Amino acid sequence: MKTVCILPGDGIGPEVIDCARRVIEAATDDLEFVAADIGAGAFQRTGRYLPDDTLTTMKGADTCLFGAVTSERSETYDSPVIGFGKEMDLFANVRPVRDFAGVSDSQLDVVIVRENSEGLYTMDEVADDAGVTTRRRVSLRASERIVRHAIVLARSTDREGICCVHKANVLRRSDGLFLKTFSDIMATEAQDLRFSDQLVDSAAARLVSSPSDFDVIVTLNLYGDILSDVASAMAGGLGFAPSGNIGPSHSVFEPAHGSAPDIAGRGIANPTAAILAGSMMLGHIGMASEAKAIYRAVFEAYATGNKTVDIGGAQGSSKFTEAVISKLNVQKTSLEGTNR
């Protein structure tokens, strides 16, 4: 039996993770869950945002499902998300975003694969009397492995093309290395896939004006972060965007949104991103049919008129989760009927 480490975290994290867990448990009995502490709550309880035993539990599990943490805007803040990403070598951040019938109709169906181990998010900042310098590294090794990850993902999900998003006209050496690595690998190892590249500013505009032009995007850390929020806004909002952080030996799945302290405790958070993160997680650990069943159940829940509060509906987190579980149960009953 596989083990999932559950990290509810802060704000709406525990609320949406509870919904995701209920859906996963309705889809399969074959998982064991262990809980671990993280975030601002963990800091109050233990003095650490990412306690050592949390990291041990995460590393010992087959995969992890994480809610959200409330970040602090202080210079001494030690982000637990960056911390576990580094400790577990989660080099690829994968964010699929698409329309759901009844929610949005933007012709969007894109997977953004973002390099997660270097770039601008390593908090490598050096202050002097005149200001602060942020160091941003782009290495050959990290570029190669994220491009190869995007190729594997494109092939395994039957996608046809990969677009490299960069700013190599200005950042000629660093983004230039990323673009060259992409072009070389695509030309020699992935002739079955279409490939193209685009400057990040025009890619942002084109994502909004012509979303169906994109299939898989492979990009650097900052660009991927911004583009995936743009994409999720087009698909209905942050409540719709799941995310996977993947490394050679470990993985952590999460809703792309934060802890939303403004709505925490009110039971109105949209659990869709967390439920879809659960679906991605099951796919990653080899439970493809359960992953697909959950995805289809969410799709059908929206297609049949269920609407969460963030998109102008009346269903709170729990009510929407019940609708998804009932769609899952319908699928199970019809499968049993077919097998009989």
Q: What residues line the site for ligand ATP (CB under 6 A)?
A: 11-12, 16, 68, 70-71, 238-239, 257-263, 269-270, 273, 310
Looking at beta carbons only, is 176 or 258 nearer to ligand ATP?
A: 258
Cβ 188 to ligand ATP shortest distance, Å: 40
Looking at beta carbons only, is 81 or 282 nearer to ligand ATP?
A: 81
Q: Which residues neighbour 181 within 8 Å (Cβ) at sequence distance 6 or greater?
A: 140, 143, 144, 147
* Residues 41, 9: Cα–Cα separation, whole Å: 7
Cβ 240 to ligand ATP shortest distance, Å: 8
Cβ 255 to ligand ATP shortest distance, Å: 6
* Residues 163, 213: Cα–Cα separation, whole Å: 10
Looking at beta carbons only, is 230 or 273 nearer to ligand ATP?
A: 273
Looking at beta carbons only, is 19 or 293 nearer to ligand ATP?
A: 19
* Residues 288, 62: Cα–Cα separation, whole Å: 15
Q: How far is CA 72 from CA 80, 82, 100, 131, 259, in A?
A: 11, 13, 33, 22, 12
Concatenated DSSP letters of 69-102 = -----STT---HHHHHHHHTT--EEEEEEE--TT
The structure tokens 């494109």 sit at 154
Looking at beta carbons only, is 247 or 255 nearer to ligand ATP?
A: 255
Tell me if 191 sits within 8 A of 161, measured CB to CB: no
Cβ 208 to ligand ATP shortest distance, Å: 19
Cβ 103 to ligand ATP shortest distance, Å: 13
Strand partners, 219: 114, 165
Phi, psi of 19 (to 5 degrees): -65, -45
Looking at beta carbons only, is 115 or 254 nearer to ligand ATP?
A: 254
Cβ 191 to ligand ATP shortest distance, Å: 40
C-beta nearest to ligand ATP: residue: 258
